[in-house]
């Protein structure tokens, strides 16, 4: 079993490669994990092009939802995007928060940060910035954000509890998050769970939905709701790389266990918790 550091380095290397590819090449993969599907495009991502602020140069087709659509961003808000990639969700959030607000994108892949900064400079946005860092230890101060968003990123992080605790730290009391992610409602075949390619493809690294939601509650968040829940269907030409014909048939005969969820929760205004103390 790989260590947390080995997993992070594997993800960093793969997403550095993805940052240098175009959307079409990424879209023909399982969350950008490689050129593995000839049957479908964007098997996880959703259509952004109708959203205000959308910029095609920043869209690498790597998401699994539309968190900005549910994030209740207001004019003047400070928004943090976890795993900001080339800046797609940041620019959509910027359209919501306006020129009086601020958007901070955090990503630990240097190539992604460079691409996002170039996009922001080309667009002339001076209230959108990108910081390189680990979302398990965010390079921002306490109580700074009104809203946190993230799109298909936390499933890649080994220590998910640490990320939710960090989210609690950097949100203002009364602030909230809306994040889209991949979770499970049953067991994956071991051959898929053991595949490194499926890990960076956002599937093998997913955890049980109830366990995921428990991390959120344990961090101190309240008013949690699931804003969207949809199945993720992996096409046969991806499955055949890991399973034989009988195993594929058995997998497809079961209820779909891979889900994309968008979940919302709030940091209480009175935010004393047993683990974190008082704000």
Using 50 as the pLDDT threshold, list the residues of the chain that sit under it: 27-42, 196, 199, 274-275
- The residue to which tokens 């793969």 are assigned: 14
Residue 140 is predicted with a pLDDT of 97
Say if residues 229 and 254 touch (Cβ distance below 8 Å): no
For the stretch 88-130, pLDDT in tens is 999 999 999 999 999 999 999 999 999 999 999 999 999 999 9
Label residue 269 exposed, middle or buried (CB < 10 Å: 0-12, 13-18, 19+): exposed
The predicted model scores a pTM of 0.85
| CA separation for the pair 122, 4 (Å, rounded) | 36
Say if residues 146 and 225 touch (Cβ distance below 8 Å): no
Residue 170 is predicted with a pLDDT of 98
Which 3-state string (H, E, C) describes 219-270? CCCEEEEEEEEEECCCCHHHHCCCCCHHHHHHHHHCCCCEEEEEEEEECCCC
Q: CATH top-level class for 4-266?
A: alpha beta
| 34 dihedral zone (left: phi>0; alpha: psi -120 to 50; beta) | left
| CA separation for the pair 142, 119 (Å, rounded) | 28
Residue 270 is predicted with a pLDDT of 72
Nearest to 70 by CA among 99, 104, 46, 39: 46
- The residue to which tokens 């399982």 are assigned: 30
Residue 247 is predicted with a pLDDT of 87
Say if residues 131 and 140 touch (Cβ distance below 8 Å): yes
Say if residues 63 and 44 touch (Cβ distance below 8 Å): yes
Residue 272 is predicted with a pLDDT of 55
- The count of other CB atoms within 10 Å of the CB of residue 203 is 26
Buried b (16+ CB within 10 A) or exposed e, 87-112: bbbbbbbbebbeeebbbbbbbbbebb
- Domain range list for the chain: 4-266
- The count of other CB atoms within 10 Å of the CB of residue 218 is 15
Residue 37 is predicted with a pLDDT of 45
Residue 6 is predicted with a pLDDT of 61
| CA separation for the pair 56, 23 (Å, rounded) | 9
């Amino acid at each position: 079993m790989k260590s947390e550091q080995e997993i992070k380095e594997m993800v960093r290397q793969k997403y550095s490669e993805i940052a240098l590819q175009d959307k079409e090449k990424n879209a023909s993969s399982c969350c950008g994990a490689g050129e593995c599907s000839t049957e479908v495009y964007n098997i996880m991502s959703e259509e952004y092009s109708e959203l205000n602020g959308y910029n095609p140069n920043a869209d690498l087709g790597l998401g699994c939802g539309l968190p900005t659509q549910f994030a209740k961003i207001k004019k003047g808000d400070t928004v943090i995007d976890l795993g900001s990639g080339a800046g797609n969700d940041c620019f959509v959030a910027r359209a919501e928060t306006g020129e009086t607000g601020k958007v901070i994108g955090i990503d630990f892949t240097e190539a992604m940060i460079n691409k996002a900064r170039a996009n922001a400079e080309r667009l002339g946005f001076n209230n959108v910035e990108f910081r390189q860092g680990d979302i398990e230890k965010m390079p921002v101060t306490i109580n700074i954000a009104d809203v946190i968003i993230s799109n298909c990123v936390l499933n890649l992080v080994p220590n998910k509890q640490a990320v939710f605790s960090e989210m609690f730290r950097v949100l203002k009391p009364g602030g909230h998050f809306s994040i889209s992610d991949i979770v499970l409602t049953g067991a994956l075949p071991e051959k898929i769970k053991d595949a490194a390619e499926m890990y960076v493809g956002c599937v093998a690294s997913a955890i049980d939905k109830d366990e995921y939601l428990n991390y959120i509650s344990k961090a101190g968040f309240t008013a949690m709701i699931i804003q969207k829940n949809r199945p993720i269907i992996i096409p046969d030409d991806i499955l055949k790389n890991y399973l034989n014909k009988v195993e594929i048939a058995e997998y497809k005969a079961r209820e779909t266990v891979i889900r994309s969820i968008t979940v919302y929760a709030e940091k209480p205004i009175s935010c004393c918790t047993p683990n974190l103390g008082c704000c």
